[in-house]
Amino acid sequence: MSSLKVFGTRKRSDTASIASGNRPEILRRKTIGNNAMLQIGIAGLGMLPGMFLLMGGSPILFVVAALLLTGGMMSLSLHQRGAADMAATMQVGSLMVTGLVLTVADPRLGDAGMAMALMGPVLAALIATSSQRSIVWISLAIVLVPGILGSVLGVGSAGADDRPMLAASLFGFLAAFAVVAHSAHRINTGFEVHDKAQINAYRHLIEHVQDAVLRFNTDGAVVLASRSSEELFGCPRYQLAGESLSERVHVLDRPNFLTAFSEASRAARSRTIEMRIRQDNPRAATSVPRFVWVEMQLSPILEDQQDGQANEVIALVRDITNRKDAEAAMAEARRAAEEASQAKSRFLATIGHELRTPLNAVVGFSDMMKSGIGGEMSTTHKEYAGLINQSGRHLLEVVGMLLDMSRIEAGKFEIQAEPIQPEELVPACFTMVETMAKDRNIALVSEIEANLPQLVADERVCRQILINLLSNAIKFSHEGGTVTASIKRQGQSINLSVKDRGIGMAPAAMNRIGEPFFQVHDGLTRKYEGTGLGLSIVKGLVELHGGTLRAMSEIGAGTTITVLLPINGPATKASETADIVPLHREPLASHSPSWQNEQRKAQ
């Protein structure tokens, strides 16, 4: 049963090997089948004279022919069933058994039987697997020992002038030689054809691949260039042969190219670099060279060489000019966007300062008019003065937000972090928004955890954060609603939360919290007034403290805004808070000059 399992396993592995398209394995199988038929044919030729000598009392030739015929027929049967390994074993075994018979029958040392048995390992090296070869060498020792002992002791049936024995020995040796010679010839021819096919396939691949293929010798000269290199370099490829590519590389990129080539050739390390190369154009109207961006992959051609010896290098070169142009255009667009953002910030700062002075005068004089300093006014005039005062204060608040936002974006908003008691923030902020809450009949509730640690932060900024959150919560709450402000410890941070039961926000709006001028209800018919700067300023102030801003909301159920401030204060010092804090989601890149402008500096 175990032998049947082994046979089945080998058959499945043989079938899988053929299905995978293994050309050497297919060649080996064909050779084994041809060997079996050749062995049967040779044995058939020896049967007739063997039978004639058998009737004359000399059976040795008939025995040799019968052994070879039996081995050939069994090998052919196994090969037809798909068991090529067992068929090869049968062929090698039949040669060695026949050699053993001749060795035992001939008492002379160094007879043809020993030579025939030595053919077994040679044949095994050509058609058998590595595990079978080891077994064959062990079997050879078993064959040679009886022959040597028989020669020493003089045991054997043949004499020195026994012609049938000579004929049988010659026939057996020639049969073994013919099988081995046929195997060597077939395998050698097959591998030559296979190698030529592989070379043709590689040549076809190199000639038709889209990327240019270059081969360099150890000195860096081009020894092979593919057809696609003509379009990339703008010249026939024979002009590239023998030329050093460094002469075509942009002068600013030559050090990078030479370093990469040296590492690939001498250090045997693959490298990928981006560089500019000169592209010829015989029909160009000017002599100014044109450079294109390419990506080059350098790989060493490793051979059996000593360490430190230079290797030839093969390179794949791909034109990436379009990609570089797109990157340059994107960098230019980002630079323009950055300049526009900076111009916007400068405009906001300038217009804010310009508006603040006249608005202070408007608010101040309207206060004087309401108090009657300039003389008694009628009720209608007092009402008008109150409206002027209210509108002026509203405009001052908007201008203050614009100035705060511009200072945060410009990195000029400095914080003074000092130890403060976080529980003292809520009552003071409630006082600031109490009038607004009463106008909308909103109840203010505080939830403050006991025994809070001191918080290292800017108290003025923390109050501004909390006032902005409370103002937003009151504005978007329903009449008669409740706004809850809570302070508690959360790990190494202080948690400031403001919760309302107002209109809430959709998930799409939640993702845009903190963007300048963003409002949930937008358009000319919006119900709630405001600039959309409150939460963006809160976000910037929180980030200056090294904290985080979180929001949870559900339409119709209200919104909870949470601010986490580190207890030990921001990681940066007060003198380092001039770093720009971007409020926009898209990062802005610094200006990088277009590479096309640099090509005028080359050569």
Which one, of 450, 474, 491, 439, lies nearest residue 561 by Cα?
474
Reported confidence tier of residue 1, pLDDT bands at 50, 70, 90 = very low
Domain match, 315 and 220 both: yes
CA torsion through residues 453, 456, 457, 458, sign: positive
Domain match, 164 and 94 both: yes
What local confidence, expressed as pLDDT, does residue 20 receive? 41
- Give the CATH number of the domain where residue 383 resides: 1.10.287
- Give the CATH number of the domain where residue 252 resides: 3.30.450.20
Burial (Cβ within 10 Å: 0-12, 13-18, ≥19) of residue 166: middle
Angle formed by the axes of helices 23-55 and 2-19, nearest 10° = 130
Tell me the sheet residues that pair with 565: 494
What local confidence, expressed as pLDDT, does residue 512 receive? 59
Between CA 86 and CA 128 the distance in angstroms is 9
Domain match, 479 and 532 both: yes
Burial (Cβ within 10 Å: 0-12, 13-18, ≥19) of residue 289: middle
Least confident range of 56-60, 85-89, 339-343: 339-343
How many angstroms from the chain centroid is the CA of residue 472?
46
What do you get for the CA distance between the two ends of the chain, in Å?
Answer: 80
Domain match, 453 and 403 both: no
pLDDT digits (tens, 9 = 90+) for 176-201: 888 888 888 887 777 777 667 677 77
How many angstroms from the chain centroid is the CA of residue 230?
31
Residue at 46 is within a domain: yes
- Looking at residues 87-116, what average pLDDT do you find? 77
Single-letter amino acid code for the residue at 426: V
Reported confidence tier of residue 574, pLDDT bands at 50, 70, 90 = very low
Domain match, 273 and 393 both: no
Which one, of 321, 319, 314, 320, lies nearest residue 213 by Cα?
314
Measure Cα distances from 590 to 103, 291, 345, 357, 561 in Å. 90, 25, 17, 35, 34
Residue at 597 is within a domain: no
Least confident range of 313-327, 345-359, 511-525, 560-574: 511-525
Q: How many residues does the chain have?
A: 603
Which one, of 550, 501, 531, 519, lies nearest residue 401 by Cα?
531
pTM of the predicted model over 0.85: no
Task: Work out whether strand 443-448 and strand 418-420 pair parallel, antiparallel, or are unpaired.
Answer: unpaired
Residue at 91 is within a domain: yes
Domain match, 227 and 199 both: no
pLDDT digits (tens, 9 = 90+) for 440-480: 888 888 888 888 888 888 888 888 888 888 888 888 888 88
pLDDT at 230 over 70: yes
Domain match, 151 and 290 both: no
Reported confidence tier of residue 15, pLDDT bands at 50, 70, 90 = very low
Check residues 600 and 114 and name the one with the higher pLDDT: 114
Domain match, 288 and 371 both: no
How many angstroms from the chain centroid is the CA of residue 130?
39
Last residue of a domain, one of 387, 409, 431: 409
What local confidence, expressed as pLDDT, does residue 154 receive? 54
- Give the CATH number of the domain where residue 528 resides: 3.30.565.10
Measure Cα distances from 171 to 44, 103, 275 in Å. 12, 14, 71
CB atoms within 10 A of CB 515: 16
User: Domain containing 6: what range?
Assistant: 2-205
Residue at 601 is within a domain: no
The domain tally of the chain equals 4
CA torsion through residues 527, 557, 508, 403, sign: positive
Last residue of a domain, one of 141, 172, 205: 205
